[in-house]
């Protein structure tokens, strides 16, 4: 038979295990999502747009690097269709900016539908 102290110890041990699992798994899952996104077709399409777009070049100068903003990533696709919404941080020779994208995947190809430069 379990007494009150044994029950408390079991509960505390289970809480500790759950907390340790969360502290290990959450960063791993976050890193997986981040790195899989920055290697995805939709991200690479947006990155190329930033590097080649004359309006962005006029405002930022030559784009030195881009990175994925960690908030507001919404990507869903199944097969040859889908949508993606996310923000890139872009650093140029003259300025830096956050650039929001909305992309649509149609017939297996990601198309940029809307872009907003956020400052």
Parallel/antiparallel/unpaired status of strands 74-78 and 63-68: unpaired
The pLDDT value given to residue 119: 75
Confidence (pLDDT) at 54 = 96
In this predicted structure, what is the pLDDT of residue 101? 97
Q: What is the pTM of this model?
A: 0.75
Q: What is the pLDDT of residue 1?
A: 63
Confidence of residue 28 (pLDDT cuts 50, 70, 90): confident
% of the chain with per-residue pLDDT over 70: 99
pLDDT, mean over the chain: 91
The 10s digit of each residue's pLDDT in 55-111 is 999 999 999 999 999 888 898 988 899 999 999 999 999 999 999 999 999 999 999
Question: Do 60 and 93 touch, CB atoms closer than 8 A?
Answer: yes
CATH entry 3.10.450.630 includes domain 41-119: yes
What residues contact residue 102 under an 8 Å CB cut-off, 6+ apart?
83, 84, 85, 112, 113, 114, 115
86, 72 Cβ separation under 8 angstroms: yes
For residue 84, the 8-state DSSP code is: E
CA atoms of 45 and 64, how far apart (whole Å)? 17
Are the C-beta atoms of 116 and 110 separated by less than 8 Å?
Answer: no
pLDDT at 2: 72
Q: Which helix (H) or strand (E) holds 97?
A: strand 96-106
Q: Where are the domains of the chain?
A: 1-39, 41-119
């Amino acid at each position: 038979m379990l007494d009150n102290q044994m029950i408390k110890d079991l509960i505390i041990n289970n809480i500790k295990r759950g907390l340790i699992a969360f502290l290990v798994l959450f960063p791993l899952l976050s890193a997986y999502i981040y790195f899989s996104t920055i290697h995805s077709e939709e991200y690479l399409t947006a990155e190329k747009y930033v590097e080649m777009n004359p309006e962005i070049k006029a405002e930022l100068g030559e784009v030195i690097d881009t990175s994925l903003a960690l908030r507001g990533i919404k990507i869903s696709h199944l097969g040859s269709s889908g949508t993606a919404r996310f923000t890139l941080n872009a650093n140029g020779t003259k300025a830096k900016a956050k650039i929001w994208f909305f992309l649509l995947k149609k017939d297996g190809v990601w198309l940029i539908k809307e872009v907003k430069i956020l400052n």
